[in-house]
Amino acid sequence: SHMSGTSDARRAPLRAAVHLTPPIGWMNDPNGLCREDGRWHVFYQHDPISDRHGPMHWGHASSSDLVQWAHHPVALAPDERGGAFSGSIVIDHGDSAGFGDDAMVAVFTHHRDTATGQRQSQSLAFSVDGGESWTKFDGNPVLDTGDADARDPHVIRFEHERADGHWAMSLAVGDRIDFFRSTDLRHWTASGSFSAPRIDSNVWECPNLCRIE
C-alpha cells in the first residue's frame, strides 16, 4: 500500500511529513476514528476524482503508530440515496446489530440534493474484514428526522451494571444537537436535545459525544 507519513517526506517533498494526506483528491472532515486489532483507522470525507469539494466518499487509511499510514480502497461511495457525509464508527463487540461479531459499523449521513433543497438522513454500513471492504445496510436510512440539516452522527456505547447497554448518538440538527438511543444501531429513539437560543449560528456541525466519569 502507498504510505504517507514521515518516511514519505523524503521522496514527496510537498507532502506533509507528519500529517495524513490522501494519495489524490479532496480531503475534509475526519470520520470514524477507531482502533481495532492493534491498528488505528482514520476515515475521512473524500473526493477521489477532484481537488475540490464534490460527491462525498469516505477515504480510509490505517496505521500502527499514527505516523506512517497505509491507504486502503474507498470505504463508502455515493449511491441512489446520495453522498456519504460525515459520521462515526463503532466496533460492535456484542453483535447488537446482527452484522457479525466485532463488526465495524459506520453510522453516516446520506446527503441528497433535490429540486426543493437538500435531504439528509442517517444510514449504516458495516465491515467484517477490519475495514477493508464495506456493505451498506439494506434497511437504510435508519434515522430520518425530516430536517434538511441533520448530519454528522457520533455514536458511543454505554454499558450498565444492572441492565443491558445501549448506543447513544449525538446529531447536528440545525442550530441544536439532538440525542438518540438504540439497542441495535438500527432503531433509534429521541432522548433529548441541547441548544443555546441566544447564540446566533448556523448548523452545529460534527458534534462529539464522550462519557466523563
Active site residues: 29
Is residue 170 exposed (0-12), middle (13-18) or buried (19+ Cβ within 10 Å)? Answer: buried
Q: Give the strand order in the sheet containing 26-36.
A: 3-4, 69-76, 57-63, 39-47, 26-36
Is residue 198 exposed (0-12), middle (13-18) or buried (19+ Cβ within 10 Å)? Answer: exposed
Give φ, ψ of 84 to 5 degrees.
Answer: -95, 95
Give φ, ψ of 177 to 5 degrees.
Answer: -115, 125
Cell of 21: 494526506
- Spatial distance between the Cα atoms of 73 and 44, rounded to a whole number of angstroms: 12
Distances 134 to 28, 103, 181 between C-alpha atoms, Å: 20, 10, 24
